[in-house]
Amino acid sequence: MALTLEGIARLAGVSRSTVSRVINDHPSVRSEVREQVWQVIHETGYQPHAAARSLVTRRTRILGVVIPEPIIKLFTDPFFPILLYGITETCNAQHYHLMLSLFHHPAEQDDQYRRIVGNGHLDGVIVASAHMDDPLPLRLLHDGIPFVVVGRYPDERVHSIDIDNFGGSCQAVEHLIRLGHTEIATISGPLTMTSGADRLLGYKQTLSAHGLPLNPDLIIEGDYTEGSGYAATKRLLMTPATAIFAASDIMAIGALKALHEAGKQAPRDMAIIGFDDVPLASSVQPALTTVRQPIRQLGSAVAELLMGILADPPEPGSAAHKSVLPTHLVVRQSCGAAG
C-alpha cells in the first residue's frame, strides 16, 4: 500500500508524469508504454491515493446523501432503504462513493452541515427531503454546492426529481369513482410534506372534476404511520364514507385493522386503496389495491442527474431540472374490483 506514482514509474521505467497520464487516460502516450504501465499497475495492485488526488483536482467522487431529522422517524418505512439501493447502484456503476448523513438532532444540524459540506469532502449532495420549508436546499444554493432534491421543492433554481404523487392519487380516486363510490374519504400524509400535500390535491381535484362535493369530515390528516391510519379510520366509520384512499400503505394497513376490530371488512363494508406498494401490501388480508411508485428508479435517476451536473455543469442562468416519474395503480382485493 505504500506504493506511489513514483514507485510505479520506477518499476515501469518511465516518469511519474507518464504513469499519471496512463491512469487518467490521457491520449498522448505511446500504446506500448501505456500497456507496459498498466501491467505494472495490475501486478502491484496500485491504487492512487484519493486524498493526494483530490487535493489538486478538487474532486473527491463522493456524493452525500442527507436525510433530515423529521424524516428519520419514517426510516423503518421501506422507502429510504430502497431509495438508497437505487442510488448506490448507479453510483457504483460510475465509480462514485456515497456518504450517508442522517441529521439526528436539529440542534446539531448547523454544526453537522459545516462538517459535512465545508471541508471539501463532497462533490455534490442528494437531499432526501420532502419538506417544503427545509432550509437545507437554500443553504446549499448559497454555498454553491451542486445538489439535487428527491421530491418537489418550490424554488426554481433547485434541481429535483419527484414521483407523480398527484397523478397517482388521481388514478386511485378515479378508480373508486368508477366503482360507483360517491362518499370517498381520504387519510392524507403530513401536509408539510410535498408528497402529503400533492396526494391530497389529487384527491380533491379528482372529486371536483367528477362533480362530487368535498366533505371536510371525510378528509383526515395522518402522518404516514399505522397508528394514524387506525385512528382516522375509527373516526371515518362514523361518517357515510364507503371508500377510503389512504396516502400510504402503512396507514391503509392501520385502516384494515380498525375495520377488523369494528367487525367489518374490506372491500365489502369499505373499499380501501393505499399508496406506495410496499412489499407487505400484496400479502395483507385482503391484498391492498395501491399506487406503485418507482422508488429504486427514483434513486437511480437522482444519482444520475447529480453526476451529470457534476460532469457538465449547467450554465449559471439556465433552468433547473425538474422531472416527475410516473406512478400507476395496482388493483388487488381491497377495493372490490378484483377477484
Residue numbers of the site for a second copy (CB under 8 A)? 1, 45, 47-52, 54-55, 60, 62, 65, 72, 75-76, 78, 80-82, 84-85, 88-89, 92, 95, 97-102, 104, 108, 112, 114-116, 118-121, 143-144, 226-227, 230, 254, 257, 260, 278-280, 283, 285
33 vs 337, beta carbon nearer DNA: 33
Q: Among 35, 43, 44, 55, indicate the residue that binds DNA (CB under 7 A).
A: 55
Closest distance to a second copy from the beta carbon of 89 (Å): 6
Which among 8-16, 164-172, 184-192, 292-300 is the span making contact with DNA, rule CB under 7 A? 8-16
Closest distance to DNA from the beta carbon of 318 (Å): 25
Q: Which backbone phi and psi does 50 adopt, to 5 degrees?
A: -60, -40
Number of residues that bind DNA (CB under 7 A): 25
Query: Which grid cell sits at 198?
Result: 400533492
Q: Contact 67/128 with Cβ under 8 angstroms?
A: yes
**Is residue 23 close enough to count as binding DNA by CB under 7 A?**
yes
**Is residue 76 close enough to count as binding DNA by CB under 7 A?**
no
Query: Which grid cell sits at 68?
Result: 433530515
Q: Which does 128 bind (CB under 5 to 8 A by kind): a second copy, DNA, none?
A: none
Sign of torsion over alpha carbons 161, 166, 171, 176: positive
Q: Contact 321/306 with Cβ under 8 angstroms?
A: no
b/e code 107-136 from CB counts within 10 Å (16+ = b): eebeebbeebbeeeebbbbbbbbbbbebeb
One-letter amino acid at 285 equals Q
**Is residue 28 close enough to count as binding DNA by CB under 7 A?**
yes
Return d(Cα 129, Cα 151) in angstroms, integer: 7
Closest distance to DNA from the beta carbon of 56 (Å): 4
Closest distance to a second copy from the beta carbon of 112 (Å): 6
Q: What secondary structure, in 3-state letters, does 159-170 show?
A: CEEEECHHHHHH
Return d(Cα 258, Cα 322) in angstroms, integer: 39
Q: Which does 5 bind (CB under 5 to 8 A by kind): a second copy, DNA, none?
A: DNA
64 vs 336, beta carbon nearer a second copy: 64
Return d(Cα 49, Cα 178) in angstroms, integer: 62
Site for DNA, residues 146 to 175, rule: CB under 7 A: none
Query: Which grid cell sits at 221?
Result: 390528516
Q: Contact 184/177 with Cβ under 8 angstroms?
A: yes
Closest distance to DNA from the beta carbon of 60 (Å): 12
98 vs 132, beta carbon nearer a second copy: 98
**Is residue 57 close enough to count as binding DNA by CB under 7 A?**
yes
Q: Which residue has the cell 455534490?
A: 124
Q: Which of 178, 171, 170, 230 is nearest to 336 (CA)?
A: 178
Closest distance to DNA from the beta carbon of 61 (Å): 11
Q: Among 35, 39, 44, 52, indicate the residue that binds DNA (CB under 7 A).
A: 52
- C-alpha 139 chain-centroid distance: 20
Interaction site with DNA (CB under 7 A): 2, 4-6, 14-18, 20-21, 23-24, 27-30, 33, 48-49, 52-53, 55-57
